[in-house]
């Protein structure tokens, strides 16, 4: 599966809320698939990925909030010590995101401006 860096966070904090029904259903499928198959190989990519494919903000392969999400993506790359093009199992990527982002001040630094931050901060995983 191809994921942009900050979606390693969003997938773990997803509780069924999203931009619209299509996005939410698609995100639910992704989360269920990764939950059932944590060994799934994930390649970290720049630009629109699997969750973006059903998002109303995906404008022909580019996010309409590009500046904001680019900054989150860069923050996650740095915090996790990974690079675009790296491939690793979902469970390893998710664990690294928990340790290096959710359990540190990086969470607010990376996600603080996101409209879902309050919800994600109060969501236990």
We find the least distance from the C-beta atom of residue 94 to ligand SF4, in angstroms, to be 12
Q: Which residues share a beta bridge with 3?
A: 44
- Beta-carbon contacts of residue 105 (< 8 Å; ≥ 6 apart): none
Binding residue (CB under 6 A) for ligand SF4 from 1, 3, 13, 45: 13
Q: Can you tell me whether residue 99 is helix, strand or coil?
A: helix
Q: Using DSSP bridges, classify how beta strands 2-3 and 62-63 pair: parallel, antiparallel or unpaired.
A: unpaired
Q: Which is nearer to ligand SF4, 9 or 94 (CB)?
A: 9
We find the least distance from the C-beta atom of residue 25 to ligand SF4, in angstroms, to be 13
Q: Is 5 in the site for ligand SF4 (CB under 6 A)?
A: no
H helices present in 1-125, as ranges: 7-13, 21-36, 66-80, 90-97, 106-111, 117-121
Number of continuous H segments (helices) and E segments (strands) in the chain? 6, 5
Q: Which is nearer to ligand SF4, 32 or 119 (CB)?
A: 119
Both structure tokens of 54: 């059903």
Interface with ligand SF4 by CB under 6 A: which range of 31-39, 47-55, 80-88, 91-99? 47-55
Among all chains, which residue has been given the structure tokens 């996650």? 76
Interaction residues for ligand SF4, span 50-79 (CB under 6 A): 51-52, 55, 57-58, 63, 65, 69, 72
- Binding residues (CB under 6 A) for ligand SF4: these are 6, 9-10, 13, 48, 51-52, 55, 57-58, 63, 65, 69, 72, 111, 114, 116-117, 120
């Amino acid at each position: 599966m191809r994921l942009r860096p900050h979606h390693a966070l969003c997938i773990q904090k997803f509780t069924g809320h999203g931009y619209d029904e299509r996005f939410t259903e698609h995100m639910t499928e992704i989360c269920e698939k990764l939950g059932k198959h944590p060994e799934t190989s994930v390649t970290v990519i720049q630009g629109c990925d699997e969750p973006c494919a059903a998002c109303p903000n995906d404008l022909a392969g580019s996010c309409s909030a590009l500046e904001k999400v680019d900054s989150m993506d860069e923050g996650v790359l740095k915090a996790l010590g990974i690079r675009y093009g790296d491939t690793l199992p979902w469970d390893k990527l998710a664990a690294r995101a928990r340790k290096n982002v959710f359990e540190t001040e990086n969470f607010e630094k990376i996600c603080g401006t996101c409209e879902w931050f309050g919800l994600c901060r109060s969501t236990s995983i």
